Amino acid sequence: MSIVRERQKQMPMSHEILSTSITALPVGGFIAILFSLPLSAIANPAEIALQQCQQRVAEDLPGTSGQFQPHPQQPNGTVVIHWQTTPHATGYCRVDGENGTVIEFVNPYAVPRGQRPIETMLAFQTTDYSVRVVRLVEQLYMNVYNRKTNRLELDRGLVRVTQTDTGILYTTVLGHQTYQAIVSDVPSDDRYRLVILAGHNSIYDEAGGSLYPSGALEIAPGAVSIPSQN
C-alpha cells in the first residue's frame, strides 16, 4: 500500500510540516487528510503536531474528511494549525513548536450557535488582505491581516455597524485610518469589499471573496485570536 507524503512549507519552524496518511492531497493551501488510518513513523515535532491535531478532530467529528493549515510560528513558540472539515466545521489546534504537543484544541461547533463565545460573522479575502468581523459575546471586532507583509494591521478593532440601502457597512477607526468592510445585499463577484481611508482619502479599495461560513472561529494567519487565547 503506497503512502502519499505532501510537504507544507508555510510553517517557519525548524521542521516543515509533513503529512503522512492513506490520502493526503493539497487543497487550497490546506493539507487535506481523509480520516481513515492513523499516521505512523512520526519523526519530528511538526509531524507529531499534525498527527495529534488530526486525531483530536477525528475523535470530535468521526467519519469526516479534513483539511489542515499550519500558520507561522508565533513569538511565544506556539504554532496554530487551523482545521476545516466537510461539511464546513472549522477550529484550530495550538501546538508547542518545540515538541509538537497539542496545548489547546478548539472546536467551536461543539457549542450551539449563539452560545459560542467567539464567532466569525464575516470573513473575506482580497488580493492583499484577509478581513474578519468577529462577535465576542455581544460586541463586534475587526481583524485586518496584510497578506503581503504578513502583518496584522488591525487587531481587535471595535466595529460600528451601519445598515445602508445596498447592504451592511462594518467600520473601525485606528488613528488616522478607517477600515471599512462592506457587504452588498446583492450576490455578486464584488459582494465583499475592503476600503481603507487615510483621513478622507481612499488608499485601498478592492473586492474580495468569502473565506469561511458564518460561525467559524476567528483565526487570522499568524495572528493572536480574539480576545487572547494564546
Q: pLDDT tens across 114-140, in order?
A: 555 667 788 899 999 999 888 776 678
Can you tell me the distance from the alpha carbon of 29 to that of 8, in angstroms, rounded to the nearest whole number? Answer: 9
Question: Three-class SS of residue 107?
Answer: coil
User: Domains of the chain: which residue ranges?
Assistant: 4-110, 118-210
Cα–Cα dist 112/102, whole Å? 24
Q: Cα–Cα distance between 29 and 14 in angstroms, integer?
A: 20
Can you give the pTM of this predicted structure? 0.47
User: pLDDT in tens for each of the 230 residues of the chain?
Assistant: 222 233 333 333 433 333 323 233 333 344 444 333 344 444 588 888 888 888 888 888 777 777 888 888 877 888 888 887 765 677 788 888 888 888 888 776 666 555 556 677 888 999 999 998 887 766 788 999 999 998 889 988 889 999 888 889 999 999 899 999 999 888 776 789 999 999 989 999 999 887 754 444 444 333 333 333 33
The proportion of the chain whose per-residue pLDDT surpasses 90, expressed as a percent, equals: 18
Cα Rg of the chain, angstroms: 18
Query: 90-94 long-range CB contacts below 8 Å, 24 or more apart?
Result: 90/212, 90/213, 90/216, 90/217, 91/57, 91/217, 92/217, 92/219, 92/225, 93/49, 93/52, 93/53, 93/56, 93/57, 94/229, 94/230
Task: Give the pLDDT confidence of 187-203 residue by residue, as tens digits.
Answer: 776 789 999 999 989 99
